[in-house]
Amino acid sequence: MAMTLASCGGATYEETRSNNSAAAKTERNSEKSTPDAKQTEQPTPQKPTSLTDRWTAGQVVSQAEIDVTGIDNCFTSTEIPDAIFAKMQGKSWPDNCTLKRSDLRYLRLLHCNADGKPQMGELVVNQKIADKVVKIFRELYDRQYRIEKMHLIDEYDGNDDASMADNNTSSFNFRFVPGTKNISKHSYGLAIDINPLYNPYIPIRNGKPHVMPPNGEPYAFNRDTAQFPYKITRDDLACQLFRKAGFNWGGSWPRSKDYQHFQWVE
């Protein structure tokens, strides 16, 4: 079925809709009494509109759905739900994880995808920065900042290389800094990587720059002059908002560069 969807800027376009929209329509229709309705069917209890129930990460949503839900409800922070915590086990949350579950928050964040369409994303971050991060992503959305996708790193089995190579925006992952025995800020959910394929991490190893992910090589050098999507520079909106909120940007580090990386400064 085709219906009108909105871009992040409010303009409209046509797109084939997902099953979720059909389900929402069925739900609305069920409020009316129709001759076809099964009289024996028990009415479904009315539940408050919940993104957690209805929208999955990566799902493009219509302006009508956003309006029904309320834009403020498209940017939420909750304690880690049971289903999410189960999904994290052995992935972003290994057996030797030293955090408490209550140290983390589960965020649902609307963002503008590659085509400028509103898309649902999810992120796990430290409770200390959760509200700040929600506020930043709300402003990024309002100002049509493009983020290709935002899935939990557990969808990549906790493999950061795979997540980066897929240009996936993520935060919490209990792990060591690649190639070292140091605990990363990501282990505490205190760092966020944005559009990592186009903003690679470039540590210096044996005196040479090492591009991670490897398919980020075309975006690793000559960044002042090179033109490509999702490029984070000092003047980039995400960079400005994160810095203003008290985060440090990896692109400003003197030796190694981590253009995708924003970390909370204690």
Question: Applying CB under 5 A, which residues contact Zn ion?
Answer: 191, 193, 261
Whichever of 155 and 193 has its CB closer to Zn ion, that residue is: 193
Smallest gap from Cβ 262 to Zn ion, in A, equals 8
Whichever of 129 and 191 has its CB closer to Zn ion, that residue is 191
Rounded Cα distance, 173 and 176, in Å: 9
Q: How far is the CB of 5 from Zn ion (least distance, A)?
A: 32
Place of tokens 């969808």: 155
Residue nearest to Zn ion (CB): 261
Closest distance to Zn ion from the beta carbon of 45 (Å): 42
**Whose Cβ is closer to Zn ion: residue 115's or residue 157's?**
157
Give the 3-state DSSP-derived string for 96-116, with helices as H, strands as E and coil as C.
Answer: CCCCCHHHEEEEEEEEECCCC
Question: Closer to Zn ion at the Cβ: 118 or 216?
Answer: 216
Q: Least distance (Å) from Zn ion to the CB of residue 186?
A: 6
